Each structure stands twice: as C-alpha cells, then as structure tokens.
Chains A and B, each alone.
Chain A
Amino acid sequence: MRPGSEQEMSEAIRAASGPVRIVGGGTRGGFGTGEVIETGGLSGITLYEPGALTLVARAGTPLSEIEDALARENQRLAFEPMDHRALLGTRGKPTLGGVAAGNISGPRRIQAGAARDFMLGVRFVDGSGTIVKNGGRVMKNVTGYDLVKLMAGSWGQLGVLTEISLKVLPVPEMQATLVLHGLNDRDAVAAMSRALGSPYEVTGAAHLPASGRTCLRIEGFERSVQYRLEALGQLFAEAAQDRIVDSAENAILWQAIRDAEHLAESAGNIWRISVKPSDSPVVAERLGAKAHFFDWGGGLVWACLRRGDDARHALTGISGHATLVRADPADLAKLPRLQPEPPAIAKLTDGLRRKFDPRGLFRSEPVTA
C-alpha cells in the first residue's frame, strides 16, 4: 500500500487489521512485519527558507532531493546522516522519514548534534490513525512536550512520520583533516579527547585501527581552518602526522567513516555501541572483534563480531547501549536489535507504545535487511 497523502495514510492505518511494516526507502532495515505501507507517496519539500535555516519536507522525500536543494543554496544537513546501503547491501533511496525515525547521524554528531537536535517539528499518524503535530518550524520552541525527540529514533514504533521540519546549516568554505599515525586504541582515544577538548572546534574524530590512522576534522573559513589545523598539529607534535586539505579526499574519507565502509566487507554481525569515549578501548578489548573502529572521539564503537556473539556482554559495568545493525536472521531470534531496557524504563516505554499504538500495529519483532 502506498498512501498518496497524510489523510490517506491515516485511513490506511485506521483500516489496518494486523501488523504493518512502514517502509521509506527500505535501505536501513526498519522494524515491523506484516503488510507493507510505503511512505514514498508522501514526497516533496514543502518549505525551504535558506535565510531562516529551515527546511520542511514530507517523510517520503528522498534524502538526495533534499541534499540537492540544500547544495544549491550552499547549505547542508549538519548531522551528516549515514547511508546504510553499503553496510547492509540494500538498494533504494534513503528517505527523510527513515533518517528521522532512526535518528541517523554521522561523525559530526559529536560537535553539531544528532538528527534529533536538528528536527524542529514533526507530523505523524499514530497507531489509531490520528494525525498529530508537534514542534514547528522555528529553532526555539518549548510550547508543550517535545514529542519531536520522542519520535526521533523511535523506528516508527509510535507512529508513521508524515512530515519533518529541519534546521539546516551553511556548508563551510573548507574542510581539512589532521591524520595521526600509529596510535593504539587507548592512545588514539586520549588524542581525540585532547583534540575535542581544545578550542579548535574539531567536527569529526575517528580512529581506524586497520590503517593505524586517527583522523581529526576541522571545518570553516579557509583562513580559520589553516590556523586551527596548524594549532591542532602542534598539540600532537610528538606523533607522526599528515594533513588532508583536498576537498574530494576529505569527502571520501569522512563518507567512509560515516557509512562504516571499513566493516562492510567483513563477514559477521555488525554492532554499533555508544559509550563514553574513555570506555571504548575497554569495550573493544572485551569484544575481541574481527574488525572495529571508533567514531565520535571514541564515543561510538563500530564492531564486526562472529555470528551469535553478544556485544552487550562487553558493556557489563559500563553505561551505554549497543545496537545490532546487521545480523544473520537466525541471530535476531536470540539477540534483540535494540539495547534491552532496565525494568523501570521498559515499563515507561511500554506504556508509551500502548498509548500511541494501542493495537500493536507497529510492535512486531524487528526485521533486518
């Protein structure tokens, strides 16, 4: 089914008699089983005001369409949403709805914020078919509860997003990367913490153990980038280093980090683990992964584990959460895709699901691509 309007989406949900599976571009392995309801019929940018840094689009709008419109005004989605296609081997076009529903963010999350931080408003259809709006299209809004955050990253478990308004930002004049060579996990995280704790506004900090590179990204006006790149390099005078100033080269490097391309070829289950940066070397050691790398200055661990292995064992005594991003179907029966919640939290999230989806339409076991 492919509703052509928000009203039709509402009717489709109202009429649904069993579980549904909401599909945008189908590139991220969404949740749900049962009848497929596509959001592709809800497409198009409805408002774009570059001078107000605001864009509003329907949920089924292909991300590429949004990125093209922004690029024409020299603006972008600063949270740098990951493209899952390489990692999951999916086809199709990522949509804005998928980005919002998954709170999909990339390396710049560490400095600029996540998708949730750039979502100003949503419209959605809940499990009863009711159309709800929350937030709006202005940057500061504390009018009532923030259901925008609740919908961001909910993977459609509370409703089908139909429209999203976003804060967008200018594309900086220049990007550059300072690359440190030969650091082990622990030293790399220490270096990234030092860089992120400097006044030089690092917008990406990733450690790639396979190639022994620790990458620190700086963005802004050319003169400013040159200055900060130099200053940052001096902080690590003792380390072997080089600099990437070519824009194409930078784009390739950070896209690969964003999309976890370093793990795409590894056979096994792919995990994404959020911890405080200084915990990541311990987590990596405990995981004994076939391959891993760190983003977010160490705050995000990407790892490829043998099938059947549970990454959550590595989080004993460590606060954080692990998501199973790519899994062998047989493993999904044993390993939940999202981090299990402690009882008091589970009671709250369960209560919310019952309120927003009383018939349990969206509440089936997650499926993977």
Chain B
Amino acid sequence: MDMPTPDSAVLSRKDEIVARLRKVLPADAVIADVAETRAYECDALTAYKCPPLAAVLPASTEEVSDVLRICHEMGVPVVPRGSGTSLAGGALPTADCVILGVARLNEVIETDYDNRFIRVQTGRTNLSVTGAVEEEQFFYAPDPSSQLACAIAGNIAMNSGGAHCLKYGVTTNNLLGVTMVQMDGTVVELGGAHLDAGGLDLLGVICGSEGQLGVVTEATLRILRKPEGARPVLMGFGSNEVAGACVSDIIKAGVLPVAIEFMDRPCIRACEAFAKAGYPDCEALLIVEVEGSDAEIDHQLSLIMEIARRHDPVELREAKDADEAGRIWLGRKSAFGAMGQINDYMCLDGTIPVSELPRVLTRIAEMSKEYGLDVANVFHAGDGNMHPLILFNANEPGQLEKCEALGADILKLCVEVGGCLTGEHGVGIEKRDLMHTQYAPEDLEAQMAVKDVFDPGWLLNPAKVFPLDASDARRSVKIAAE
C-alpha cells in the first residue's frame, strides 16, 4: 500500500502547529506526544499503521472550525476520525496530518417525536442514538455491525448500512441534515428537520464522501417507531443456487422482509463450532426476518415458508418466540468472531446483482482453490451486499499479500457481473487502487471535481478514495503552492 511522501515542510513545523492548536483548544484536547499519538495510528484495518503528527479532540463546532482554519492556513492535512472502526482504512493517518477526533462531540441536542427526528453531535455512537429514543419506542434504523462502537460521523462519512437496510435503507436515506465545517473553517448548515433539498442536494453528496469534503459535527437523523415485533425463520438448502433462487422468489412474491441473511457451508460450520446455535449441516442457510404484529408476522412467515418449501429445504425452522429467534440469530451474529477464532481473516464488502449470486459464489469457490486460501461467505442477500471472509495466517510471510490479491480478484468479479467494490464499508485506502476497475478516468474526474469545490487544497483525508495516480496532480498543486 503506497502512501504519499509526508510533506517535510509540515513535519518541520510541528511545534508551531501544535502551539497554534493549543491556543484554541483546552490543554488535554491536543495530543502531540509521540507515544500518545500512537493511539491514533490505525483504525480497524490494522494491517496499516502510521502515527499522525498530532491529534486533536475538539468539543464544539467552533473548536472544529478553529482547528480546520489553522490547519488550512498552515497547509496541514487533516484526517477526521469517528470511533476508528473503519474496515477500509478510512481514518488511517499520514505522518504529516492532524487527526481530528469527534469523540468529545457526543451530546443529544434535540429529540422531537412529533416530527420524528433526533439531532445529535456526531461523535455519538450509532447504538446510543437508538438508546436515546427507545424509551418512547423509537429507533434509528441504520445498524452497522459495529454499532456499539461506531460514531455517527463515521456512519455519515461512509454512508453505512447494516442488516436491516433492505427495508429501511442506509444512512443517506435516514439523514435529514448536518452542520458541516469546511476545510477553511466555514460552517455550513445543510438540510434540517424538513425533507429534501431546495436546490442541489449537497447533503446527498456529503454522505459517503469519506470525510473528504468537510467535518460533520452535528446531524439531524430520522427516527422511526419500532415495529410491534419481529421474528426470523431459518432455512437450510442443498446448494447455493437453490438458496439464491429462493431469495429471488421471496422478493418477487411481494414480501419485503427486513433482513435476508445468507451463509455458505464454510461459514455455517465455523459458526456452529463456535456458537453451537444448532444450525443444520448444509450447503447454504438463509435467515429471513419479518416485522409487524404477531398475526402479521405469522402470515408473512407462512408465505415465506411456502416459497421455501418449493425449493426442497433440508431444514425449515420458524421462531415461535423471542428465545427461538435469539438462537436463530446467534450463529449469524457470531460469524465474524467465529472466523477470528480459527484464523486471521479479511472481510470484503462487494455488492452484486442478486441474480448473480449462484454464479459469483461458484467462481469465488474456484478462486479460493486457486489461491489455496479458504473463503467463507456471509452476507445480506436481499440487497446483494456480500461479505466474503478470506482466511489467512498473518504470521506466515507472504500470506497477507496473497490474501489481498485474492480479495482484489473477488472485488473485480463483483464489478464484472454488474456490481461494485464496496456496499457499505467504503473505499478508504483498501479499495482506492481498485477504483479504476469500476470507474473510467472521466467518472473519477467528475468525483474529484466535487472535492475541488469543497476542499480546493486537497487537505482533508488525503490519499483515500481516489487512486494515487489519479489524484496526484491535485495533491501536488497544493504542495507547490506553498
């Protein structure tokens, strides 16, 4: 993984930069000690590490604005950081950057049940947003697996999804407004508690821009009333093809489950060994969850099971109560932990058209043999968002590189069949150099033109999203200008 050479002019001015930051922030909000900056050297993509020049922890929009204005004036790159749970290296520092952590921005500003929104500071964790409204039976819908730890700021930067987005959509569909600070310190309000944009939909382009257009300090989020109940059904099938066909038939039949999760044999076995959830020993397993009142759930599950029966399931298990529901979800929810137990693994995130499921799974199995690395598949089948887990041994020299090469081949396959490189984790540095496989130069140019407008100096979250060769000219213009 290449990263640009740190700007020596910035490195040599470290003391001056830190001194200026200390003037606008409390003493404990500026971290410049080399040992302490290590805490920020990586995110959840731990294969890559680089301590930043300094880290700051502002506690208000004004402080964020002050920090950015100073960094802008001094030509210092800034890497915004939520909770550091990015699997794509979205918050990986550069040696010449200031990490701007939003952890101290964690207040609830307003809850409004009549108008169904909550306004929060963006350092707040995803789950604690729901936590703030569940007493009134409301919830915030996007539910990434890291929801206990991940911050709303990072959710907005990556346009995070989750298991339930088949019904509720991803972050962008549940984000109503933001307060954002631009790199030069300008504070803008986009959207609000009302719907849609009066002019160009800037909010729509901010969401998913990986912290490269501005630092979002506050967000207005749509909250929804909780359904009366939810229950899953578990189905086992003799082949991936049959399970794929069943998914398609459920969708075509007009039932819209909140989640359809798919696990293949390697994944089922690992989960079973780890969590002992009582999963059947079969080729493919589906967990389908529906919502509503008890009677509504019964009706929808009966329709789904009727469809499943037409595909000769080897197992069909309906959850009759919360306890049974919990056991059905147990294996799936421990999938990543189960994998971590047996091996190091790399989690991919490509999306494919649902109709391509069988073909892609067959091809992944072939590639897995070719590379000699096991791949387990667990994913959101309703929306085609795959999470192949490549198992490898990090201590064996050359295995990480081999694993990355297999990962790249799988993602190229996703693009080839009409899908994309990343469905919910983001590009970060991880998929940066694969962007050429999905986008032509002019497609990337159009995206970079947006960055030119919001951050003309290309200081925010540098060397992410765009292949280095594509963004090189823009990043060097900045250096030349100083």
Q: Say yes or no for B239: interface residue by CB 8 A criterion.
A: no
B380 touching A154, Cβ below 8 Å: no
Is B393 engaged at the interface, CB distance under 8 Å to the other chain? no
Q: Mark B432-444, 1 if CB is under 8 A from A, else 0.
A: 0001001110111
Within 8 A of B (CB), among A341-355: 341-342, 344-345, 348-349, 351-352, 355
Query: Which residues does chain B contribute within 8 Å of A144, judged by CB atoms?
Result: 427, 435, 438-439, 443-444, 447, 465
Partner of A138, one of B204, B254, B419: B419
Please give, as numbers and ranges, the residues of chain B lying within 8 Å of A50 by CB-CB distance. Answer: 252
- Count of residues in B whose CB is under 8 Å from the partner chain: 96
Please name the residue on chain A nearest to B136 by beta carbon.
A197
- The answer to whether B454 touches A140 (Cβ under 8 A) is no
Q: Output the least CB separation between B72 and chain A (Å).
A: 15
- A299 neighbours in B (Cβ, 8 Å): 194-195
Q: In the complex, are the beta carbons of B450 and A147 less than 8 A apart?
A: yes
**Cβ of A320 and Cβ of B194 under 8 Å apart?**
yes
Residue-wise, chain B 130-166 has the 8 Å CB interface mask toward A (1 for contact) of 0000000110000000000000000000110100011
Q: How far is the CA of A353 from the CA of B194 in the complex (A)?
A: 25
**What separation, in Å, do the CA atoms of A224 and B426 have in the docked complex?**
38
Contact A355 B450 (CB under 8 A): yes
Enumerate chain A residues within 8 angstroms of B445, measured Cβ to Cβ. Answer: 130
Q: Does A199 lie within 8 Å of B228, measured CB to CB?
A: yes
A105 to B173, CA, bound (A): 14
B295 touches A227 (CB 8 A): yes
Q: A141, A148, A227: which has the most chain B beta carbons within 10 Å?
A: A141
Contact across chains for A52 and B194 when beta carbons are under 8 A apart: no
User: Which residues from B are CB-within-8-Å of A130?
Assistant: 442, 445-446
Which residues of the partner chain A approach B292 to less than 8 Å between Cβ atoms?
Answer: 224
Please name all residues of chain A whose beta carbon is closer than 8 Å to the beta carbon of B199 when the two chains form the complex.
321, 338-339, 341, 345, 349
Task: State in angstroms the CA–CA spacing of A220 and B296 once bound together.
Answer: 10
Chain B nearest Cβ from A245, distance in angstroms: 18
**Is A136 in contact with B419, judged by CB distance below 8 angstroms?**
yes
The reply to whether B115 and A276 contact each other, CB–CB distance below 8 Å, is: yes
Question: What residues of chain B lie closer than 8 Å to A321, measured between beta carbons?
Answer: 194, 197-199
* A133 nearest CB neighbor, chain B only: B443
> Known contacts A197-B114, A199-B225: does B196 contact A116 (CB below 8 Å)?
yes
Q: Given A138-B423, A157-B200, answer yes or no on A146-B208 (Cβ-Cβ < 8 Å).
A: yes
Nearest chain A CB to B296 CB, angstrom units: 4
Q: Given A173-B254, A322-B198, is A351 in contact with B169 using a C-beta cutoff of 8 Å?
A: no
Within 8 A of B (CB), among A87-137: 103, 105, 109-110, 113-114, 116-117, 126, 130-134, 136-137
The closest CB in chain B to the CB of A105 belongs to B196
**A172 touches B (CB below 8 Å):** yes
Known: A113-B169, A299-B194. A149 touches B205 (CB 8 A): yes
Q: How far is the CB of A251 from chain B (nearest CB, A)?
A: 18
Report the number of A-B residue pairs with Cβ-Cβ less than 8 Å: 267
Q: Are B421 and A278 interface neighbours, CB within 8 A?
A: no
In-complex Cβ contact of B299 among A109, A138, A223 (8 A): A223
Interface positions of A (Cβ within 8 A of B): 49-54, 73-74, 103, 105, 109-110, 113-114, 116-117, 126, 130-134, 136-150, 152-154, 157-158, 169-173, 190, 193, 196-199, 220-221, 223-224, 227, 274-278, 296, 299-300, 319-323, 338-339, 341-342, 344-345, 348-349, 351-352, 355-356
A–B Cβ pairs within 8 angstroms, 27 of them: A50-B252, A51-B249, A53-B354, A74-B254, A110-B195, A138-B418, A140-B385, A140-B423, A142-B427, A143-B438, A144-B435, A146-B207, A149-B203, A153-B200, A154-B201, A170-B254, A172-B254, A197-B225, A199-B226, A221-B296, A224-B296, A224-B300, A278-B115, A300-B195, A338-B199, A349-B200, A355-B452
Chain B residues with CB under 8 Å of chain A are 112-117, 137-138, 158-159, 161, 165-166, 169-170, 172-173, 182, 186-190, 192-205, 207-209, 225-228, 248-249, 251-256, 292-293, 295-296, 299-300, 303, 351-355, 380, 383-385, 418-427, 431, 435, 438-440, 442-447, 449-454, 465
